[in-house]
């Protein structure tokens, strides 16, 4: 249809419809705001046959500036020069300004013949209208998050303007555009929030340095690279001595300032290719790639020199004695955890007379550190420094939450969070499992009661160690806890690893049978790693099998793992047991487990372990479904 021919009603409705549907496709495809505006204007002109389409944003500044964002059918700069502002009288501000100030669509018809436009101020505009073949203009306000952001302006060749039906459809198009702008902006906000959360997870809030988790990851990557390229890696561990005394005498605020000042000095000294992290309350670590022992010693000396001068805090001059320990890959350890532990152990050997730093020199240092850690774990249990974390489980078929697993956490005041598997092992060696299990039982019952009180039927499962199974008083203690809290038995469950069961199968079975008498549901944890026989399994009074994450995680890439997982699910079901998969880290794993009929999933895809008071928030989010 030629642009300047007057369209009949049917034609105008059908071109508006065409524009609307092409506009919707644009809306779905656009990945940023500018692109969305550009494409939308283009669609209106190219698909709809309207001579001009533009989007302008109304600034609320002194001049009430219009910022023309995109325009099709004419030059944007030209438009900006003609219509710089939305202020003025109805006529002067035009359709755009009227739409902005009234919040309603506005239409200006007969622009070529209306005497209101026959002024010198409109001369250029008339020239434009004649040249571009339009005779009326309409503007639709764009309402984004409750505010009028700007307007979509369109011209028509018809001096009568647009008919009602057509206007209704175009209005819908403008509303869709506004919705598109809002959702793209929301997506950016979302991304920013996610980045902020990721930053929080990987950075220390006091110094904004990378934290221990971050360092561990980067150290693992550095080790992988070093293995391929055959070069060494050095890890320096820097500990502020007497930090507790400083905290006690001068207060925590002064302690924080001390850490911040030392962190700033270290950050200034660290080179671009090194990673500096805060790994404990009074400890920093520096990762130096491709560095031999000589380089590591030079770096340690350089950093200790930087920290040597006293620190000024609230008018006081404080000497902060810092010592450094060094561990090398591959000489002192071949994984991140070992290097961290050993660099830390080496700090104790550092003497000011010998430069204030020392290399890791063997098991003896590590044993000393372990011994100290055992003592500290004992204190931590006594001082209630452990934390209860809960990790959700979800029924796969219905996506409904199915309780949680209770997992213990230890935030060491100096060394930061200690990996759970590591201190559980320590507790097992130091005969600390009984006090640890007792702590956990109390915490779990009290939490289960809080949920029960709030009307939430959310079973909480507690892990038991091999040692617990031989503790003759365990079952009695659990019975007492049930009567203390008045909890129904289905709200507490227990998980026992397959390997713990296999340590002493007969006595394990006996303990499980007594727990079962209390009406409690039981899980075999880490199933697949403990080599239990089918006949033994049949005799165990358990309700659930938990497939170990080492089979679940590689399932989508390893046929062996897939086969094992599938067989365990079948085996479990044949024995009348329900099956949980742990380590469900992705949608792909979730989907695959679902098709194989696995009952329940647990893993990072569903939710990370979290403090119990964040559980309700998780559940709300989960029930909203995928973002
Ligand atoms: P578990 O009982 O098999 O618990 C599951 C472990 O896998 C947890 O590690 C959990 O954080 C981790 N996990 C869960 N989903 C995923 C995932 O998708 N990907 C990966 N990579 N990991 C996942 P956590 O908390 O470090 O605990 C390690 C082990 O320590 C536990 O293994 C359990 O055997 C033991 N444990 C934890 N809390 C206690 C406790 O209170 N008492 C006893 N005796 N043992 C405990
Ligand atoms: Mg478990
Ligand atoms: Mg497990």
Position with higher pLDDT, 109 vs 237: 237
- Dist. CA 589–CA 446, nearest whole Å: 34
Q: Please indicate, yes or no, if residue 376 is contained in any of the structural domains.
A: no
Q: Are 479 and 507 in contact (CB under 8 A)?
A: no
How many Å lie between the centroid of ligand 3 and the Cα of residue 140?
59
Is the pLDDT at 569 greater than 80, yes or no? Answer: yes
How many Å lie between the centroid of ligand 1 and the Cα of residue 407?
6
Tokens of 594: 């679902």
pLDDT tens column, 3-21: 445 557 777 788 888 888 8
Tokens of 462: 């507690």
Q: Please indicate, yes or no, if residue 234 is contained in any of the structural domains.
A: yes
DSSP run (H or E) holding 153: strand 147-156
Tokens of 205: 């809030």
Q: Tokens 């810092």, residue? A: 322
Which is nearest to 48 in space by CA: 156, 133, 150, 137? Answer: 156
DSSP assignment letter at 74: S
Is the pLDDT at 1 greater than 50, yes or no? Answer: no
* For ligand 1, atom 32: residue with the closest CA: 421
Is the pLDDT at 385 greater than 80, yes or no? Answer: yes
pLDDT tens column, 75-134: 999 888 888 888 876 555 678 888 998 999 998 888 878 877 777 767 777 788 888 888
- Dist. CA 532–CA 499, nearest whole Å: 8
Q: Please indicate, yes or no, if residue 541 is contained in any of the structural domains.
A: yes
Q: Among 341, 361, 381, where does a domain finish?
A: 361
Q: Among 191, 222, 252, where does a domain finish?
A: 191
Beta strands in 397-487 (DSSP E): 401-412, 416-418, 460-464
CATH of the domain at 526: 3.20.20.450
Environment class of 104 (CB within 10 Å of its CB; exposed 0-12, middle 13-18, buried 19+): exposed
CA angle 548–549–552, rounded 5-degree value? 100
* Same-domain status, 599 and 516: yes
* For ligand 1, atom 30: residue with the closest CA: 421
* Same-domain status, 232 and 153: no
Of the listed ligands, the closest to the CA of 547 is 3
Q: Tokens 């988790």, residue? A: 213
For residue 419, which atom of ligand 1 is closest to its CA? 26
**215-226 burial, b for 16+ CB within 10 Å, e for fewer?**
bbebbeebbeeb
* Same-domain status, 344 and 400: no
- Dist. CA 77–CA 448, nearest whole Å: 66
Of the listed ligands, the closest to the CA of 443 is 1
Is the pLDDT at 60 greater than 50, yes or no? Answer: yes
- Which contacts qualify for 398-405: CB closer than 8 Å, 24 or more apart? 399/622, 399/625, 401/458, 401/619, 401/622, 401/623, 402/459, 402/600, 403/458, 403/459, 403/460, 403/461, 403/493, 404/458, 404/459, 404/460, 404/461, 404/615, 405/460, 405/461, 405/463, 405/495, 405/602, 405/609
Q: Are 188 and 180 in contact (CB under 8 A)?
A: no
Reduced to 3 states (helix: H, G, I; strand: E, B; else coil), residue 379 is: helix
What are the helix and strand counts (H, E) for the chain?
23, 22
DSSP run (H or E) holding 57: strand 53-58
* Same-domain status, 130 and 258: no
3-state DSSP of 208-222: CCECHHHHHHHHHHH
**Residue 548 Cβ contacting ligand 1 at under 6 Å:** no
pLDDT of residue 626: 64
Which is nearest to 132 in space by CA: 54, 56, 50? Answer: 50
pLDDT of residue 610: 97
Structural Rg of the chain based on CA atoms: 34
pLDDT tens column, 600-621: 999 999 999 999 999 999 999 9
CATH of the domain at 94: 3.30.450.40
pLDDT band at 528 (very low <50, low <70, confident <90, very high): confident
Q: Which residues pair with 67 in a beta bridge?
A: 57
- Dist. CA 619–CA 309, nearest whole Å: 51
Which is nearest to 356 in space by CA: 317, 321, 380? Answer: 321
pLDDT of residue 53: 94
- Dist. CA 205–CA 225, nearest whole Å: 29
Q: Please indicate, yes or no, if residue 96 is contained in any of the structural domains.
A: yes
Residues 390-419 have a mean pLDDT of 92
Share of the chain above pLDDT 70, in %: 96
Q: Among 191, 221, 251, where does a domain finish?
A: 191
pLDDT of residue 9: 72
How many Å lie between the centroid of ligand 2 and the Cα of residue 391?
10
CB atoms within 10 A of CB 60: 10
DSSP assignment of 498-555 equals HHHHHHSHHHHHHHHHHHHHTT-EEEEEEETSS---HHHHHHS--SEEEE-HHHHTTT
- Ligand 1 pocket test: which of 217, 386, 463, 553 has the largest number of ligand atoms within 8 Å of its C-beta? 463
Q: Give the strand pairing for 416-418 and 401-412.
A: antiparallel
- Dist. CA 439–CA 515, nearest whole Å: 19
- Dist. CA 426–CA 159, nearest whole Å: 86
- Dist. CA 546–CA 349, nearest whole Å: 44
pLDDT of residue 4: 46
How many Å lie between the centroid of ligand 2 and the Cα of residue 495?
5
Domain count, the chain: 3
- Residue 248's domain comprises 212-361
* For ligand 1, atom 22: residue with the closest CA: 583
Residues 533-543 have a mean pLDDT of 82
Tell me phi and psi for residue 317, to 5 degrees.
Answer: -105, 120
Phi-psi region of 144 (alpha: psi -120 to 50; beta: other; left: phi over 0): beta
Share of the chain above pLDDT 90, in %: 55
Q: Give the strand pairing for 578-581 and 600-602.
A: parallel
Q: Please indicate, yes or no, if residue 421 is contained in any of the structural domains.
A: no
* Same-domain status, 261 and 298: yes
Tokens of 154: 């369109």
Q: Are 572 and 559 in contact (CB under 8 A)?
A: no
- Dist. CA 213–CA 49, nearest whole Å: 58
Q: Please indicate, yes or no, if residue 206 is contained in any of the structural domains.
A: no
* For ligand 1, atom 33: residue with the closest CA: 463
Cα 319–chain centre separation: 39
Cα 391–chain centre separation: 15
Distances (CA, A) of 63 to 91, 95, 376: 17, 17, 67
Tokens of 316: 């006081």
* For ligand 1, atom 17: residue with the closest CA: 583
Q: Please indicate, yes or no, if residue 419 is contained in any of the structural domains.
A: no
pTM over 0.85: no
**Whether the bond into 75 is cis, omega within 30 of 0:** no
How many Å lie between the centroid of ligand 2 and the Cα of residue 397?
22
pLDDT of residue 91: 55
* Same-domain status, 476 and 563: yes
CATH of the domain at 243: 3.30.70.270
**Residue 388 Cβ contacting ligand 1 at under 6 Å:** no
Q: Give the strand pairing for 544-547 and 401-412.
A: unpaired
* Same-domain status, 124 and 236: no
Q: Please indicate, yes or no, if residue 402 is contained in any of the structural domains.
A: yes
Which is nearest to 287 in space by CA: 276, 299, 301? Answer: 276
DSSP assignment letter at 120: G
As a whole number, the mean pLDDT across the chain is 89
* Same-domain status, 341 and 276: yes
pLDDT band at 445 (very low <50, low <70, confident <90, very high): very high
* Same-domain status, 334 and 446: no
Q: Which residues pair with 108 in a beta bridge?
A: 137
* Same-domain status, 29 and 164: yes
* Same-domain status, 223 and 273: yes
CA angle 582–391–624, rounded 5-degree value? 100
* Same-domain status, 502 and 542: yes
Is the pLDDT at 2 greater than 80, yes or no? Answer: no
Helix H segments across 9-56?
Answer: 9-29, 33-46
């Amino acid at each position: 249809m030629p642009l300047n021919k007057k369209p009949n009603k049917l034609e105008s409705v059908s071109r508006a419809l065409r524009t609307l549907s092409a506009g919707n496709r644009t809306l779905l495809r656009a990945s940023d705001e500018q692109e969305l505006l550009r494409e939308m204007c283009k669609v209106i002109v190219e698909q709809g046959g309207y001579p001009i389409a533009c989007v302008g944003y109304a600034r609320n500044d002194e001049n009430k500036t219009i910022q023309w964002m995109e325009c099709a059918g004419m030059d944007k700069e030209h438009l900006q020069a003609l219509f710089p502002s939305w202020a003025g009288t109805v006529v002067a501000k035009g359709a755009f300004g009227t739409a902005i100030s009234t919040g309603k669509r506005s239409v200006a018809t007969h622009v070529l013949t209306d005497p209101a436009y026959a002024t010198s101020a409109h001369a250029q505009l008339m020239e434009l209208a004649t040249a571009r073949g339009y005779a009326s203009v309409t503007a639709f306000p764009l309402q984004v998050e409750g505010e009028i952001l700007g307007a979509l302006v369109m011209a028509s060749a018809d001096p009568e303007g647009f008919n009602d039906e057509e206007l209704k459809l175009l209005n819908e198009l403008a509303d869709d555009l506004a919705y598109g702008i809002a959702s793209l902006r929301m997506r950016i906000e979302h991304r920013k929030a996610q980045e902020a959360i990721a930053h929080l997870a990987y950075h220390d809030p006091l110094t904004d340095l990378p934290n221990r988790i971050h360092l561990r990851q980067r150290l693992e990557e550095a080790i992988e690279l070093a293995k391929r390229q055959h070069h060494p890696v050095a890890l320096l561990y820097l500990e502020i001595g007497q930090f507790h005394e400083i905290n006690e005498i001068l207060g925590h605020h002064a302690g924080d300032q001390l850490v911040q000042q030392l962190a700033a000095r270290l950050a200034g000294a660290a080179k671009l290719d090194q990673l500096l992290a805060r790994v404990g309350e009074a400890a920093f670590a520096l990762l130096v790639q491709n560095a031999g022992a000589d380089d590591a010693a030079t770096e340690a000396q350089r950093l200790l020199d930087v920290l040597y001068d006293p620190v000024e805090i609230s008018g006081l001059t404080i000497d902060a004695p810092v010592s450094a320990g060094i561990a090398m890959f591959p000489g002192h350890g071949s994984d991140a955890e070992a290097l961290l532990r050993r660099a830390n152990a080496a700090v104790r050997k550092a003497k000011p007379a010998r430069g204030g730093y020392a290399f890791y020199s063997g098991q003896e240092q590590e044993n000393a550190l372990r011994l100290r850690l055992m003592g500290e774990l004992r204190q931590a249990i006594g001082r209630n420094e452990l934390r209860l974390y809960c990790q959700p489980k979800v029924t796969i078929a219905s996506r409904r939450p199915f309780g949680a697993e209770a997992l213990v956490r230890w935030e060491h005041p100096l060394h930061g969070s200690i990996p759970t598997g590591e201190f559980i092992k320590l507790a097992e060696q130091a005969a600390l499992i009984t006090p640890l299990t007792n702590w956990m039982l109390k915490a779990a019952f009290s939490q289960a009661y809080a949920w029960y009180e709030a009307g939430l039927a959310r079973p909480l499962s507690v892990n038991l160690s091999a040692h617990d199974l031989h503790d003759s008083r365990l079952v009695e203690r659990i019975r007492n806890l049930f009567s203390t809290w008045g909890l129904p038995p289905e709200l507490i469950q227990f998980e026992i690893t397959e390997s713990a069961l296999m340590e002493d199968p007969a006595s394990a079975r006996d303990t499980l049978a007594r727990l079962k008498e209390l009406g409690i549901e039981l899980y075999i944890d880490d199933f697949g790693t403990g080599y239990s026989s089918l006949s033994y399994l049949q005799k165990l009074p358990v309700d659930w099998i938990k497939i170990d994450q080492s089979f679940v995680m590689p399932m989508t890439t390893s046929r062996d793992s897939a086969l094992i997982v599938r067989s365990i699910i079948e085996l479990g079901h044949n024995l009348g047991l329900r099956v949980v998969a742990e380590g469900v880290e992705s949608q792909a794993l979730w989907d695959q487990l679902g098709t194989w009929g696995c009952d329940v999933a647990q893993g990072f895809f569903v939710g990370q372990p979290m403090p119990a008071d964040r559980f309700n928030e998780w559940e709300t989010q989960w029930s909203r479904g995928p973002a």
